[in-house]
Structure 1
Amino acid sequence: MAFMLYADEKMQKPADIRLAFNGTGILDTVLYFGSNQSDEVLKPQTDAQIILKPVDLIKKWQPNKFYYWNNIIEPSRPNGYIYRCTTQGRTGSEEPRWWIDNGGSGASGSARFTVLGEAYRHTDIKLSLTQAGLDSAVGGEGIELGTQLQGGNAIAVYMRVTNKSYDLRNDFMDACRGLATNSTITTTTDV
């Protein structure tokens, strides 16, 4: 396996950071970044440090595209809200009128979408190398993991996700936010 996020310090279970909220709230968790292969080395490709940062994964609406039930999208010109496909099908050439009130929906071609609420954003995620550091971390900013990482060692990554919306929200079917590193290269060494 390559360097990635794990749910456990022994790096045996890959992390799944899909989120659910029953309204406003804060969710704190700890993940572990590393490789369970001790001969792997991770280095930044062009930057001085390996950086782990929150990223948006929300896809924009596209014409003449097939959407599956539960796909989450935002309008091609974001309006601050996200929409779930509730009737799968192919969109037409015209984008639907995007409703922002609860229960509002729009159709394009044979696909139908219903508003989920305010959009998830990467700035809702704070990262730190310590639990205490989450209090002063800035949402959306990355953390430096080092100039080189050796496999076999896990780095604890503390994550705080804030939901400012009163809407019931989850991204179990189609992740809206994620974590990614800057450009890196993995090599192996003789251990």
Structure 2
Amino acid sequence: MREKQFAPATERNREPILAVLKQILPPTGTVLEIASGTGEHAVYFAPRLSPRHWLPSETNPILQESILAWREEFPSDVLSPPLDLDVMDENWWEKVKHQDLCAVVCINLIHIAPWAACEGLMKGAEALLPQGGILYLYGPFKQQGVHTSESNVSFDESLQQQNPEWGVRNLEDVVSLGKVHQLELQDVIAMPANNFSVVFRRGINNK
């Protein structure tokens, strides 16, 4: 029997995130969620963002099973089973076959992963998104190298104690990386609990 996993932060942040997604997502198409975790966001967002199609993904087998368990409990015609994706794999985006992709959503990943994960995410978003497609990031960020709250200082320290390659990212570094991959910063939205929504739009490929 599949076992659901739980992430307490999901219930706290899902409504604010949903409000932003409703504003920024194209009206139709497939939304690829990177690092879907427990699947709680996926089952909550998918029916509320219909007719868009929600495509979760995850590399952890336990979390893949959790996504399927949540999907079985809250079935939706616009929610796919999860893809096995790791943005640090070379050419990971080739596993994504949907030609109608309109957005890539990534919630609370890039600070709990090496910088190479952010690089892979941006590279894949460039490869997958059409012109005007959206890349949405959510999580804590430093601005001009400075934390936006004392709690984020402690959080950053705890992350780096777990793995020196992890840590709260500098927003300007993320924006600069996006530019390399034709991803133009559209908005930075302050969110509850000292987090931010960072919205990129896929520009014209002029390489």
Per the normalisation by structure 1, the TM-score is: 0.27
Higher relative contact order (CA 8 A, sep 6+): 1
Query: Which of the pair is proportionally richer in helix?
Result: 2
Per the normalisation by structure 2, the TM-score is: 0.25
Query: Which of the pair is proportionally richer in strand?
Result: 1
Return the index of the structure with the highest Cα Rg.
Answer: 1
